[in-house]
């Protein structure tokens, strides 16, 4: 992610759904400051923005842009258009009340759903022209200043209530052939949807209908103002182990047709105007989190977590995503409207992470982009991890106290986490929580003996100020003797220079033993 020519790490905060209003924004800004975010993710409501067809009210958008500037934040705007969590709650009244003109999805049993049909040209045209108007307005007010850095097109798209639209018009499309552009991209034989996709035909048809629609909305918006665009995803969560089935039900347990794990290839093929498919993550299952990161971190898909829980795992999950090259990470529900945050307070486990990274967000983004950055995150039963860099290994041990001769004890809540980035052959930028970090020369594969050792030349605590490193003190003694020690509540960043020297004085080692 490059903003104004410089790498940018999104330390995001998404506000509650009904918070992009003049009456609630005063409760937004202090929360964003307290969590040390550099980017606000805020919704734009189609119903508010186009109360009458063709007549636009950008008051809320302008408040967001002006407020973000005043508070030194960038903005990611979330287009709550045709889809919001698999339903059509944010479409304007003139759309809601005219289902003949703006057709709804119909279930297999004929029920009219609270979802606009993605198989309708009229729906597409209405959404697209509103989004185009929004992008035109943003270009006019912000094209020179770049407060808004990215757009989310729709919100958790797909349909709740049916696996696909069963209206007569959609059925007719479903009976036809899968477009050859899609079969070619997915390397499948040609044929009807049922023939090509078998049991998954309905969901794949829904995905193709949804993604083609959104692609056209995004492409038309980009033609006005070419900001990066992404779609956030309601992922498919594991079904309970005791239930005798292996997959959640599309259209019931998640919106059918969204870019959930099994639909990524299809979405990538059919929505070139969407730059990122970004998983929302609302679970405390660590193994599942790692799976989701592995699934969405692809050469054709930058990793971005646009929404996540405020749980205790926040810090570890942030470090984990960063270690997999994430361009950004954002908790959901950050404002003081008495909604998501208990007592309208930002807990320390949320704010400490961004507080540490905000001053060096650009440097961290660059190091990550260059492949120089790694993270270690404590896992159950694994209190020590080794990170391999060019020539040097970093050994990260979790939990304190750390006693000589004992294995590190880990932490009770698995809060240990560290970031190590290689600045030069023997120079590293290091930080973390509940962790110590020490260095060893990397042992060549197959080598039996190590002939060199490593020493600290200098370990400076400090911070980056406008791109320049400023040292505040030198760490030594207890702060460095058993590794660089980053305790709970840490706010330190350390730049360490090492050097190597031979392990033995060869003349002594070879001296014949004396009686």
Does 155 bind ligand DGJ (CB under 6 A)? Our answer is: yes
- Which DSSP symbol is given to 504? S
Omega within 30 of 0 (cis) for the link into 401: yes
Query: Shortest Cβ contact with ligand DGJ: which residue?
Result: 156
Does 154 bind ligand DGJ (CB under 6 A)? Our answer is: no
CB of 95 to ligand DGJ, least distance (A): 20
In angstroms, the CA 499 to CA 493 distance is 20
- Nearest in space to 114 (alpha carbons), one of 80, 158, 155, 152: 158
**Closer CB to ligand DGJ, residue 309 or residue 441?**
309
Does 105 bind ligand DGJ (CB under 6 A)? Our answer is: no
Which residues are paired to 379 by β-bridges? 382
β-bridge pairing 328-329 and 484-486: unpaired
Q: Which residue has the tokens 């089935």?
A: 245
**Closer CB to ligand DGJ, residue 18 or residue 172?**
18
Does 79 bind ligand DGJ (CB under 6 A)? Our answer is: no
**Closer CB to ligand DGJ, residue 45 or residue 400?**
45
Cβ neighbours of residue 35 under 8 Å, at least 6 residues apart?
Answer: 13, 331, 334, 346, 350, 351, 354
What is the pattern of x (binds ligand DGJ, CB under 6 A) and - over residues 46-65?
--------------------
CB atoms within 10 A of CB 266: 21
Omega within 30 of 0 (cis) for the link into 89: no
CB of 280 to ligand DGJ, least distance (A): 5
CB of 288 to ligand DGJ, least distance (A): 17
Find the Cα–Cα–Cα–Cα dihedral 258, 259, 261, 266, rounded to 10°. 110
In angstroms, the CA 385 to CA 441 distance is 15
Pull the structure tokens for residue 385.
């991890």
**Closer CB to ligand DGJ, residue 12 or residue 103?**
12
**Closer CB to ligand DGJ, residue 193 or residue 332?**
332
CB of 156 to ligand DGJ, least distance (A): 5
- When binding is defined by CB under 6 A, the residue of 1, 3, 7, 17 that contacts ligand DGJ is 17
CB atoms within 10 A of CB 9: 27
Pull the structure tokens for residue 202.
């309905």
What is the pattern of x (binds ligand DGJ, CB under 6 A) and - over residues 160-199?
----------------------------------------
What is the pattern of x (binds ligand DGJ, CB under 6 A) and - over residues 310-349?
----------------------x-----------------
**Closer CB to ligand DGJ, residue 122 or residue 309?**
309
Handedness of CA 367, 358, 376, 428 (dihedral sign): positive
Total residues in contact with ligand DGJ, by rule CB under 6 A: 8
What is the pattern of x (binds ligand DGJ, CB under 6 A) and - over residues 112-151?
----------------------------------------
- Nearest in space to 438 (alpha carbons), one of 376, 491, 355, 361: 376
Measured CA to CA in angstroms, residue 62 lies from 66, 143, 307, 457 at distances of 6, 13, 23, 52
Cβ(123)–Cβ(117) below 8 Å = yes
CB of 327 to ligand DGJ, least distance (A): 19
Total count of residues recorded for the chain: 515
**Looking at 95-189, which runs of residues are DSSP E strands?**
104-106, 112-116, 148-155
- Which DSSP symbol is given to 336? S
CB of 43 to ligand DGJ, least distance (A): 8
Cβ(107)–Cβ(161) below 8 Å = yes
- Nearest in space to 112 (alpha carbons), one of 132, 137, 135, 87: 87
Does 307 bind ligand DGJ (CB under 6 A)? Our answer is: yes
CB of 16 to ligand DGJ, least distance (A): 8
Does 41 bind ligand DGJ (CB under 6 A)? Our answer is: no
What is the pattern of x (binds ligand DGJ, CB under 6 A) and - over residues 221-260?
-----------x----------------------------
CB of 341 to ligand DGJ, least distance (A): 13
Residue 80: phi and psi, rounded to 5, are -85, 85
CB of 489 to ligand DGJ, least distance (A): 29
**Closer CB to ligand DGJ, residue 307 or residue 313?**
307
| Neighbour-count burial of 515, counting CB atoms closer than 10 A to its CB (0-12 exposed, 13-18 middle, 19+ buried) | exposed
CB of 456 to ligand DGJ, least distance (A): 46
CB of 155 to ligand DGJ, least distance (A): 5
Does 280 bind ligand DGJ (CB under 6 A)? Our answer is: yes
CB of 10 to ligand DGJ, least distance (A): 16
Residues that bind ligand DGJ (CB under 6 A): 17, 85, 155-156, 232, 280, 307, 332
């Amino acid at each position: 992610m490059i903003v104004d020519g410089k790498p940018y790490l999104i330390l995001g905060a998404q506000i509650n759904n009904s918070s992009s209003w003049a009456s609630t924004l005063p409760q937004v800004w202090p929360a964003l400051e307290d969590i040390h975010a550099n980017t606000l993710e805020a919704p734009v409501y189609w119903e508010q923005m186009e109360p009458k067809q063709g007549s636009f009210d950008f008051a809320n958008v302008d408040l967001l842009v002006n407020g973000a500037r005043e508070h030194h934040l960038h903005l990611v705007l979330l287009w709550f258009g045709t889809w919001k969590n698999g339903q059509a709650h944010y479409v304007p009244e003139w759309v809601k009340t005219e289902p003949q003109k703006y057709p709804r999805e119909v279930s297999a049993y004929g029920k009219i759903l609270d979802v606009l049909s993605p198989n309708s040209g009229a729906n597409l045209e209405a959404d697209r022209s509103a989004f185009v108007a929004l992008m035109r307005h943003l270009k006019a007010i912000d094209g020179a200043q770049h407060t808004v850095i990215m757009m989310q097109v729709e919100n958790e798209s797909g349909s709740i209530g049916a696996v696909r639209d069963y209206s007569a018009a959609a059925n007719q499309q479903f009976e036809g052939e899968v477009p050859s552009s899609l079969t070619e991209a997915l390397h499948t034989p040609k044929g009807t949807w049922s023939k090509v996709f078998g049991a998954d035909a309905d969901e794949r048809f829904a995905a193709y209908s949804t993604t083609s629609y959104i692609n056209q909305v995004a492409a038309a918006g980009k033609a006005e103002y070419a900001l990066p665009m992404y779609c956030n995803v309601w992922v498919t969560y594991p079904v309970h182990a005791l239930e005798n089935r292996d997959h959640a039900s599309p259209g019931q347990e998640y919106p059918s047709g969204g870019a959930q794990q099994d639909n990524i290839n299809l979405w990538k093929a059919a929505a070139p105007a969407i730059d990122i498919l970004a998983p929302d993550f609302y679970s405390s299952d660590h193994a599942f989190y790692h799976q989701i990161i592995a699934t969405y971190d692809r050469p054709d898909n930058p990793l971005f977590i646009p929404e996540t829980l405020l749980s205790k795992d926040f810090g570890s999950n942030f470090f984990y995503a960063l270690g997999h090259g994430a361009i950004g990470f954002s908790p959901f529900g950050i404002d003081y409207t008495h909604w998501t945050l208990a007592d309208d307070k930002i807990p320390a486990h949320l704010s400490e992470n961004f507080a540490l990274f905000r001053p060096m967000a650009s440097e961290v983004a660059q190091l990550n982009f260059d492949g120089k950055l790694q993270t270690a995150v404590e896992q159950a039963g694994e209190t020590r991890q080794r990170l391999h860099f060019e020539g040097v290994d970093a050994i990260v041990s979790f939990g304190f106290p750390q006693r000589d001769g004992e294995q590190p004890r880990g932490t009770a809540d698995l809060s240990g986490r560290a970031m190590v980035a290689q600045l030069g052959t023997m120079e590293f930028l290091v930080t973390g929580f509940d962790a110590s970090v020490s260095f060893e020369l990397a042992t060549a594969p197959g080598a039996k003996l190590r002939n060199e050792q490593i020493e600290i030349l200098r370990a400076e605590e400090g911070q980056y100020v406008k791109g320049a490193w400023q040292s505040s003190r030198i760490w030594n003694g207890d702060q460095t003797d058993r590794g660089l020690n980053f305790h709970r509540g840490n706010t330190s960043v350390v730049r360490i220079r090492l050097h190597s020297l031979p392990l033995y004085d060869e003349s002594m080692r070879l001296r014949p033993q004396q009686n």
